[in-house]
C-alpha cells in the first residue's frame, strides 16, 4: 500500500537500471569476499552464497538484476551499466544455478527476438544440447525435482479446486512420496531422491496448497502485471520474466527479498497510467500503510523475540531448557527445526509421549523422515515394538536410499529378542547401497556384519 504513494511508474529507466546494477554488484562483491575468505559463506558446502543461505537464490537474484541492466544498456549504451552488467554476467555461472541461467537465457531470447527469428534453425539445434548439458551437470538433482513434480501433480489432482491448505505442501509431498515408492519399489528415482525441505516449483506449490482457485488468481495478477509492463516497454518486465522462470525451478517466494521484488514490480505496473497522487489521495494510503505496518510489527514482535531467545540455546539440547521450549512453543510452533529439537530434548529426558507430540506437529510441516524415526525410537523405548517398526518402515519408504531406517529396524529386532528378523535386516544393511558413503554408514554396516557373523 505504501508503494502507491511513490511515483514508481515515473522513475527513469536509467535509474531502475542503476538500482539493479548496484544491488547485483553488491551481491557479486559479497560472493567474491566469501570466495577470498574475507567473509563466511551461508552454506558449509559452497564457497559463495552472497547474502543468501544457498548459491541458487544468489544466482537467481543476480540474473534478475542482470536482465534489467541488459535491457536498459541495450537502449542507452551507458558505460557504467555495461561494466556492471559484464561483471554480473561473469559471476552468474559461478552460482551453479541452472534455474538462474535458464531465466537469463529466456529473457535474452525475448529481448533479442529478432535474432532468434533470423537464426532459429541454429538456435533450435543448440537448445536440446543446452538442455542436455544443464541436465547432466546435476543429474541427480534434476531427477529428484522431476519426482517432486510427479508427486506434487498427483496431490494437486486429489485436491484440485482448493488444495491442501497453506503450509501443507511438504507434508503431503512426503506422504505421497512414501505412497509412490510403496507402489514402485524398483523406481529409477530411488537413487536420486532426497529429503524435500523446500519447494522447487513455486506455481506447483501454489496449486497444491491453494488449488486451481489460488493458482488462477495468482496467474491473473501476474498476467495483468506483465501485460502492462510489456506495453510500456518497462525494464522491470524482464525482471518479472526472469523471476517467474526462476520460480518454476527454485523456491524464491520462500525468501523475503524475492517477495519484495515481486511486490515492487506489481506496484510499479499498477502505478502506470495513474495521475499524480496528491493531497488526501497521497495521505490516505500513507496512513493505511503506517497502520498496517504497526499491526504487522505488533503481531511479529513476539515471534522475533522468540527466535532470538531460541537461538541462544538451540544447539545445546539440554534438559534444563525444557521449560524455555514450552514458553516459546506458542510462537515457534511452525518452525520445523524448533519442533524437532524440542522433541529430541524431551526424548533425552525420557518424556516419550511429549516428544511424540512434537513429532506429530513436525510431520505436518515437513517431509523429513527423521521425525518418524525419532518417534519410532520413542515407541521402541516404550516397548511398543510394532508401532516403532511401522514408523521405521514408513520413514524408509519416504526416502528409500537411506540406510538409517533399516539400521534402526535391525536394532529394534535385536532389542525385542527377534533374532531371525534381526539377521534378515542385518543382511539388508550389509547389502544396501548407500547414496553417500560416510563414517556413520560404514559403522552401521560394520555393526550389521558383526551381528550377521555372530548368530
Q: Are residues 266 and 408 in the same domain?
A: no
Q: How far apart are CA 351 and CA 41, in angstroms?
A: 38
Number of domains in the chain: 3
Can you give the pLDDT at residue 285?
A: 58
What's phi and psi for 85, nearest 5 deg? -65, -40
Residue 296 Cα to chain centre, angstroms: 24
**Exposure string for 49-62, b = 16+ CB within 10 A, e = fewer:** bbebebbbbbbbbb
Q: What is the pLDDT of residue 32?
A: 94
pLDDT at 194: 83
Task: Say if residue 218 is in the same domain as residue 121.
Answer: yes
pTM of the model: 0.88
Cell numbers that stand for 95 in this block? 552460482
- Distance from the Cα of residue 322 to its chain's centroid: 30
Asked whether 193 and 399 are in contact (CB, 8 A), the reply is: yes
The predicted pLDDT at position 274 comes to 63
206 and 318 in a single domain? The answer is no
Q: What is the pLDDT of residue 402?
A: 92
Query: Domain boundary residue among 247, 277, 307?
Result: 277
pLDDT at 99: 93
Contact call for residues 363 and 371 (beta carbons, < 8 A): yes
Looking at the structure, tell me whether residues 83 and 225 fall in a common domain.
Answer: yes
228 and 326: one domain? no
Q: Are residues 204 and 345 in the same domain?
A: no
- Spell out the residues 6+ positions from residue 80 whose beta carbon is closer than 8 angstroms to its own: 18, 21
HEC letters along 229-288:
HHHCCCCHHHHHHHHHHHHCCCCHHHCHHHHHHHHHHHHHHHHCCCCCCCCHHHHHHHHH
* 258 plus 314 within the same structural domain: no
Q: Is 316 left (phi over 0), alpha (psi -120 to 50) or beta?
A: alpha
Rounded CA-CA distance 288/9 in Å is 21
Instruction: Give residue 191's pLDDT.
Output: 85
Cα–Cα distance for residue pair 15/22, rounded to 1 Å: 11
CA distance 74 to 19: 16
Specify whether 244 is located in the same domain as 361: no
* 290 in the same domain as 259: no
412 and 392 Cβ atoms separated by less than 8 Å: yes
| Pairwise CA distance, residues 62 & 48, whole Å | 13
Please name which of 99, 123, 97 lies closest in space to residue 110, comparing C-alpha atoms. 123
Cβ count near 148 (within 10 Å)? 24
Q: Cα 364 to the chain's mean position, in Å? A: 17
Dmax of the chain from CA atoms?
A: 87
- The parent domain of residue 410 ranges over 375-455
Among 366, 398, 424, which residue terminates a domain? 366
Cell of residue 91, nine digits = 559471476
Candidates 87, 104, 110, 102; CA nearest to 145 is 102
Which of residues 277, 307, 340 is at a domain's end? 277
Confidence at residue 126, expressed as pLDDT on a 0 to 100 scale: 82
DSSP one-letter code for 251: -
User: C-alpha angle with apex 262: 259 to 264, nearest 5 degrees?
Assistant: 110
CATH of the domain at 389: 1.25.40.10
Query: What's the CA gap between 302 and 308, in Å, rounded?
Result: 10
Same domain, 431 and 343: no
pLDDT tens-digit profile, the chain (455 residues)? 455 555 555 567 888 999 999 999 999 999 999 999 999 998 888 899 999 989 999 999 999 999 999 999 998 888 899 999 999 999 999 998 999 999 999 999 999 988 888 888 888 888 888 888 877 877 878 888 899 999 999 999 999 999 999 989 999 999 999 999 999 988 989 888 888 888 899 999 999 999 999 999 999 999 999 999 999 999 999 999 999 999 999 999 999 999 999 999 998 888 886 655 555 455 555 566 567 667 766 766 787 888 888 888 888 778 888 999 999 999 999 899 999 999 999 999 999 999 999 999 999 999 999 999 999 999 999 999 999 999 999 999 999 999 999 999 999 999 998 899 999 999 999 999 887 788 888 999 999 998 787 75
In this structure, the answer to whether residues 211 and 70 fall within a common structural domain is yes
235 near 16, Cβ under 8 Å? yes
Q: Are residues 233 and 335 in the same domain?
A: no
Q: Are 347 and 378 in contact (CB under 8 A)?
A: yes
Residue 60's alpha-carbon distances to 22, 54, 92, 108, 170, in angstroms, are 16, 11, 9, 15, 22
Dist CA 186 CA 278 (whole Å) = 66
Amino acid at each position: 500500500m505504501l508503494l502507491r504513494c511513490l511515483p514508481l511508474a515515473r522513475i527513469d529507466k536509467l535509474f531502475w537500471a542503476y538500482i539493479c546494477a548496484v544491488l547485483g554488484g553488491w551481491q557479486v562483491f559479497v560472493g567474491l569476499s566469501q570466495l577470498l575468505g574475507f567473509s563466511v559463506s551461508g552454506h558449509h558446502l559452497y564457497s559463495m552464497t552472497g547474502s543468501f543461505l544457498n548459491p541458487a537464490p544468489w544466482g537467481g537474484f543476480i540474473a534478475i538484476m542482470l536482465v534489467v541492466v541488459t535491457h536498459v544498456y541495450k537502449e542507452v549504451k551507458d558505460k557504467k551499466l555495461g561494466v556492471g552488467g559484464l561483471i554480473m554476467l561473469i559471476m552468474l555461472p559461478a552460482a551453479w544455478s541452472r534455474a538462474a541461467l535458464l531465466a537469463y537465457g529466456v529473457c535474452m531470447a525475448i529481448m533479442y527476438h529478432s535474432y532468434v527469428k533470423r537464426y532459429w534453425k541454429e538456435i533450435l539445434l543448440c537448445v536440446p544440447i543446452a538442455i542436455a548439458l544443464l541436465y547432466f551437470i546435476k543429474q541427480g538433482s534434476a531427477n529428484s525435482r522431476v519426482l517432486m513434480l510427479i508427486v506434487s501433480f498427483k496431490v494437486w489432482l486429489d485436491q484440485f479446486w482448493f488444495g491442501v491448505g497453506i503450509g501443507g505442501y511438504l507434508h503431503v509431498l512426503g506422504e505421497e512420496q512414501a505412497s509412490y515408492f510403496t507402489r514402485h519399489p524398483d523406481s529409477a528415482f530411488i537413487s536420486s531422491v532426497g529429503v524435500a525441505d523446500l519447494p522447487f516449483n513455486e506455481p506447483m506449490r501454489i496449486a497444491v496448497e491453494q488449488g486451481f482457485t489460488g493458482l488462477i488468481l495468482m496467474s491473473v495478477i501476474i498476467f495483468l502485471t506483465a501485460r502492462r509492463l510489456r506495453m510500456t516497454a518497462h525494464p522491470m518486465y524482464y525482471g518479472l520474466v526472469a523471476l517467474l522462470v526462476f520460480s518454476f525451478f527454485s523456491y524464491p517466494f520462500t525468501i523475503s527479498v524475492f517477495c519484495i521484488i515481486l511486490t515492487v514490480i506489481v506496484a510499479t505496473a499498477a502505478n502506470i497510467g495513474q495521475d499524480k497522487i496528491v493531497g488526501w489521495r497521497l495521505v490516505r494510503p500513507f496512513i493505511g500503510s503506517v497502520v498496517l505496518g504497526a499491526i504487522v510489527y505488533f503481531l511479529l514482535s513476539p515471534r522475533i523475540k522468540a527466535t532470538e531467545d531460541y537461538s541462544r540455546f538451540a544447539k545445546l539440547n539440554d534438559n534444563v531448557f525444557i521449560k524455555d521450549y514450552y514458553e516459546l512453543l506458542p510462537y515457534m510452533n511452525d518452525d520445523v527445526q524448533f519442533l524437532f529439537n524440542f522433541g529430541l530434548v524431551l526424548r533425552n529426558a525420557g518424556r516419550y509421549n511429549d516428544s511424540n507430540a512434537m513429532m506429530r506437529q513436525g510431520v505436518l510441516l515437513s517431509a523429513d523422515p527423521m521425525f518418524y524415526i525419532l518417534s519410532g525410537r520413542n515407541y521402541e523405548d516404550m516397548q511398543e515394538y510394532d508401532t516403532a517398526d511401522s514408523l521405521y518402515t514408513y520413514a524408509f519408504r519416504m526416502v528409500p536410499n537411506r540406510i538409517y531406517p533399516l539400521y534402526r529396524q535391525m536394532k529394534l529386532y535385536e532389542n525385542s529378542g527377534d533374532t531371525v528378523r534381526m539377521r534378515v535386516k542385518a543382511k539388508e544393511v550389509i547389502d544396501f547401497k548407500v547414496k553417500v558413503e560416510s563414517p556413520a554408514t560404514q559403522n552401521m554396516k560394520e555393526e550389521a556384519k558383526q551381528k550377521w557373523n555372530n548368530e
